Structure 1
Amino acid sequence: MNMELTPAEQKQENIRKVCEKELENLNEALLDIGITMHDYTKQREPIVQERINDLVNRFRVIDNIVSELDIMVPYDVINYLENGKNPDLFTRDFIERAAAENHFTKGKIAAHKDFYNILKEELNSTFPEDMKIYDNNLEESSKSGN
């Protein structure tokens, strides 16, 4: 299914892609600083300062991009990240909970249908004349749209 995006959605998609690319660049900059600091000597101080300035600039670029981005992140996902967990676990847990609730609700609906059918059978056997009137009224009201 190929859905066309509105101009506003397309703009947000483009901004999101730019933000992803800048986050990848930030990740590389952090890795570079880590490598530089691992082999740190006094002579490498200008390189460290350059890398830190690059990092600050990358944060500035990301901050500017994010101000244009309109994405809602669930608080639970942020908690997962802060606790060092993979946010995909949140998605998996959410889907599992939704499936379990779906299954439970489906069971309740089936139980209500079974109860309705049993009740209708019992009422038909106990009050056959009244149930014929009820069924006729029900049929007429469904035809008239009420």
Structure 2
Amino acid sequence: MSEDKTIPQQRPPAQDQTQILAAVDGQLRQTIEIILETGIALNDFEGGPHNHIYQKLNSIVEEYKELDRLAENVTVTVPRQVIEYVDEGRNPDLYTRQHADEALKKNQYMKGKLDTMKVPQVQWHVDEDFLLICVTEF
């Protein structure tokens, strides 16, 4: 029988994740810039040698390779709902705000329910204490 000798992947410390995410952010910005430059080059292309276009396309491929390499170290997960929200062209900050507002409303609702349950309990304790005082004094 062979034993599974795989080593569980450990999460990098938060500081490392911050640095990794900063590197991914920078790489994404650079990739977007190259894609925009390629679009401009394609738009301005009027025939002739294709070397410049090929270089731009190869640059995009290299940028994607670098993003893929950086992605191996990222342990942050993004909920599918957020990705779908962004795919629909909506602002992810609004998604966060809406969910925070919903959580706040639910929290206030539950607090109200708990507060209404506390009133009879307090009343019961007051009634019980009052009876004890009355019994001991009379």
Which TM-score tier does this pair reach, normalised by the shorter chain? 0.7 to 0.9
Q: Which runs of 5+ in 2 are unaligned?
A: 1-11
Query: What is the TM-score with the length of structure 2 in the denominator?
Result: 0.79
Instruction: List 4+ stretches of structure 1 deviating above 6 A.
Output: none
Task: Name the TM-score, length of structure 1 as normaliser.
Answer: 0.75
Higher helix share: 1
Q: 1:15–1:69: 8 Å Cα contact kept in structure 2?
A: yes
Q: Which has the higher contact order (CA 8 A, sep 6+)?
A: 2
What's 2:123 paired with?
Answer: 118
Q: Residue 34 and residue 123 in structure 1: after superposition, are their counterparts in 2 closer, same or farther (change >3 A)? A: same
CA distance in 2, matches of 1:94, 1:34: 37
Residues 29-48 of structure 1 aligned to structure 2 (within 5 Å): 29-43=34-48, 45-48=50-53
Identity %: 25
| Cα distance in 1 for residues equivalent to 2:113 and 2:58 | 61
Is there any run of 5+ residues in structure 1 with no aligned partner, and where?
Answer: 1-6, 133-146
CA–CA distance in structure 2, aligned partners of residues 23 and 39 of structure 1: 24
Listed as ranges, the matches of 1:82-93 within 5 Å are 82-93=87-98
CA RMSD of aligned residues (A): 2.3
Paired residue secondary structure (2:13): helix
Q: Distance in 2 between matches of 1:44 and 1:21?
A: 32
Structure 1 residues 121 and 52: CA distance shift in structure 2, 3 A: same
User: Partners of 1:124 and 1:51 in 2: how far apart?
Assistant: 83
- Length, aligned pairs only: 124
Aligned pairs for 1:28-107 (under 5 A) are 28-43=33-48, 45-107=50-112
Q: Report the equivalent of 1:9.
A: 14
